[in-house]
Structure 1
């Protein structure tokens, strides 16, 4: 027996039409050189419709990959909807990748066109001749004074839109499983791999961001995505905000902590999200701004230090909302929102729970398994294994089938590469990345847990722990530490601080003080860079 419900495709066209019809009066604000630009969803929607016509005028194929090389702006949001709503595929290019990676990705995806903010044109243009399928580069004027080469392949965004009539019909996608967008992994090992999001996966993911125990996005919210729109759909915030009817504030090219804090305060932002390094940089500025409107600070991309979350709770009254995911999970897979069983806990116990990666999001299944045997392990908070994920917005394979033999299990689960334990309530606790664990004398040391304890020291700004070869113990931990400005710290003082907090055999064999922990293209700690830097390091005997 079949159900008798209408069979209508889940597609991003619904997100666009809903926002256009119901929330045209809501604001979209974008930071730019010399101030801000403000528009409404109604005016933005007209520009999306003009852009749809431009795609046809430029002769893009029906499923063309539409590359973007842009900051978080209202213009980028126009592309976020115009490309998938016309059947094309939005391809967000990471502006912080190495040139050779950008060329590889554009060619691998077969981008036909790239839209680029003028301030970023000097990074992109020298590579265009190597991007073999790119026929057109459209420059979006963001107020920068970067020179625009005299080349017939270059077109002006505003001129194209001014000459185009708005698409007058209703956008429609026949197959909800058709591609809507794609994003490449950051490529920490080997070439980046393409993750292709479907209309169905994007809509379902957006719906979950509206649920109370996820982000709880609502019409009353004012949302500021700090997480880049070129990284995993900005965690679903742009689509989720449009679906809810929330107002949007975009930082544009000025991503300094001071600029972000000022926007949060001035626009009375209620929901924001970014990686820990963003919030670390903003922490000294909290007392200078009225952030009382904030109800949720989403934090993910790497483990959120407990000390950082607690510093925000003490300063502005709310801790971080810790979430976990990856490019392959669209990205939200788990969220550490509070649960009723924690009501009787002490504040210290609740802080420990908030430092975990949380329960699986609705419609997502998680498990931990022995990485060699594949045997599923119990949720007792003691057993640790590889975290694996399944669900309607979890990748089943990579574009062109690359990496499938190692990244996906025989029964179709994504192997995340994270090592985790799970408690009886289903709260995930990431122990480490498989490649970042320290194997000492046959036992594992979690670099993540050790880093969190180091960053609890009041003089420590950042810390990363890497494994260094050791003749007797195979590997031992080296702590790479950034000291806060105006503070002082010795290795001996740090070890003394750690001694009552971790097992004796976890204590770092050495401490190196560095100016800054290197970051990846998406703001995570780049331990690969540290391993290369300290590759010949000799530990004290």
Structure 2
């Protein structure tokens, strides 16, 4: 068999060659719509990668982003990662002091940002000595003036690159992305993703029992690109040749609905709070969805009423999902199996409310405090452990020491910090966080059940 490295640049090479006229559509900060094709995007990504190389951004060095979902952000994803450097997406909703700490810990050499985040940049720049270049992601005629930091225009940076530059090949275990999680104790910890793990995750995310993506789809990721790579969608969409639609900063119900309808969106993904706003808008304005047929909802538990409303009133299938920054992020998705077709709608609903079934590549189990396996009976709940080729084995720079647990067979597992049940068909349901569960007389009592 040919030994070809699994590199993210192959996604865009594939899309540009085999889906050259398929569009990437973005609502820009200015409110207008930008559209171009996979062929156009791949050419600009190569040119940007060449410019970064000329600027001295080396293999393995980090380039930070503070940006919404848009075409330039995606170009940075691929230009940085495709040349062998590491794209470090930063959550702009964190406090500026925390953002500065993360930038310094990552030792970002360059930081690319949307103009709406200029106040954050001006607040953190004096405290981030590793960042040598601050790139404003805008056209030259929209460049802001700053008395605090010297800015480079994104389009002028891109123009410094060569248009004949070609993607290099290197070790697929090289790092490609860095995301920090605040879901652990102490300072945020970084999860460093490899090309290999990212490619495998994109394959799995596209599977029929996962996001079920294909070239027939028009995909709109509402989940931000600074939340675990928008759950892998910027990688999975070009893998299958799907049209991509980026909503930018406008995530209100009206703006999303208009974009769904004008671009023929078939699939989307996001957290429950965003869908509450969209559902409120379509209800108040007596709207229907012309093409929107399924959505992955994760980040927090999806309310049962939301699953029912999408299904019964708008004919949209909700795929309930669970994952973590440390899992790249997808772990489980709630999809029915053929044997469930005979169940009543209510019984099916109960299954779909769970966090779901693992996708190939992820293994999981529940254990007690002595790390003894617990039965998959749907009632026993214990600490949830996971393993797989896109699960981290340690945090960036070894922060927090070795997080993994070794079982009796010598296999290594990552402790999620969640307490869960798993039923006989392998459907997992989160019942609590490990730190919140109440232990009394050898019995575990869910804090959620106690509150209820």
Residue 56 to residue 146, structure 1, CA distance change in 2 (3 Å): closer
Per-residue deviation at 1:36? 1.3
Larger radius of gyration: 1
Contact 1:119 1:146 in 2 (8 A): no
Per-residue deviation at 1:447? 5.3
With structure 1 as the length reference, what TM-score do the two structures score?
0.79
Q: Identify which of 76, 88, 93 aligns with 1:91.
A: 88
Q: Identify which of 211, 214, 222 aligns with 1:215.
A: 211
Per-residue deviation at 1:445? 5.1
Structure 1 stretch displaced more, 196-205 or 7-16: 7-16
Contact 1:286 1:315 in 2 (8 A): no
The equivalent of 1:312 in structure 2 is 310
The equivalent of 1:17 in structure 2 is 13
Task: Give the secondary structure class of the aligned counterpart of 2:331.
Answer: strand
The equivalent of 1:328 in structure 2 is 326
- The answer as to 2:300 corresponding to 1:293 is no
CA RMSD for the aligned pairs? 2.0
CA distance in 2, matches of 1:141, 1:342: 50
The equivalent of 1:498 in structure 2 is none
Task: Give the secondary structure class of the aligned counterpart of 1:368.
Answer: strand
Task: Give the secondary structure class of the aligned counterpart of 2:232.
Answer: helix
Q: Deviations over 1:213-235 (max 9, x none)?
A: 11111011100000010111111
CA distance in 2, matches of 1:259, 1:442: 52
CA distance in 2, matches of 1:6, 1:335: 33
Superposed, 1:175-254 pairs within 5 Å as 175-187=171-183, 189-254=185-250
- The answer as to 2:132 corresponding to 1:132 is no
CA distance in 1, matches of 2:233, 2:442: 43
CA distance in 1, matches of 2:320, 2:261: 22
Q: Deviations over 1:84-142 (max 9, x none)?
A: 11000011011111112111111111100000011111112210111121111000128
CA distance in 2, matches of 1:73, 1:361: 28
Per-residue deviation at 1:422? 0.4
The equivalent of 1:385 in structure 2 is 382
CA distance in 2, matches of 1:100, 1:444: 38
Q: Identify which of 45, 49, 56 aligns with 1:48.
A: 45
Task: Give the secondary structure class of the aligned counterpart of 2:152.
Answer: strand
Per-residue deviation at 1:188? 5.5
The equivalent of 2:350 in structure 1 is 352
Q: Identify which of 67, 71, 77 aligns with 1:70.
A: 67
Contact 1:335 1:360 in 2 (8 A): yes
Residue 251 to residue 417, structure 1, CA distance change in 2 (3 Å): same
Contact 2:139 2:155 in 1 (8 A): no
Per-residue deviation at 1:26? 0.8
Residue 256 to residue 442, structure 1, CA distance change in 2 (3 Å): farther
Contact 1:118 1:144 in 2 (8 A): no
Q: Deviations over 1:167-211 (max 9, x none)?
A: 432x13321111011100024631010101000000001111221
Per-residue deviation at 1:435? 2.9
The equivalent of 2:118 in structure 1 is 121
With structure 2 as the length reference, what TM-score do the two structures score?
0.94
CA distance in 2, matches of 1:120, 1:152: 13
Superposed, 1:511-530 pairs within 5 Å as none
Task: Give the secondary structure class of the aligned counterpart of 2:110.
Answer: strand
Contact 1:119 1:145 in 2 (8 A): no
Provide the aligned length of Structure 1 versus Structure 2: 445
Q: Identify which of 57, 65, 80 aligns with 1:60.
A: 57
CA distance in 2, matches of 1:42, 1:233: 22
Contact 2:420 2:430 in 1 (8 A): yes
Bigger relative contact order (CA 8 A; separation at least 6): 2
The equivalent of 2:370 in structure 1 is 373
Per-residue deviation at 1:444? 5.2
The equivalent of 2:301 in structure 1 is 303
Task: Give the secondary structure class of the aligned counterpart of 1:385.
Answer: strand
Superposed, 1:402-413 pairs within 5 Å as 402-405=399-402, 407-410=403-406, 411-413=411-413
Residue 373 to residue 39, structure 1, CA distance change in 2 (3 Å): same
Per-residue deviation at 1:60? 1.4
CA distance in 1, matches of 2:148, 2:272: 41
CA distance in 1, matches of 2:139, 2:162: 23
Q: Which runs of 5+ in 2 are unaligned?
A: none
Task: Give the secondary structure class of the aligned counterpart of 1:77.
Answer: helix
Task: Give the secondary structure class of the aligned counterpart of 1:387.
Answer: strand
The equivalent of 1:260 in structure 2 is 256
Q: Which runs of 5+ in 1 are unaligned?
A: 451-475, 478-505, 507-541
- The answer as to 2:121 corresponding to 1:112 is no
Contact 2:140 2:153 in 1 (8 A): no
Residue 445 to residue 257, structure 1, CA distance change in 2 (3 Å): farther
Contact 1:122 1:146 in 2 (8 A): no
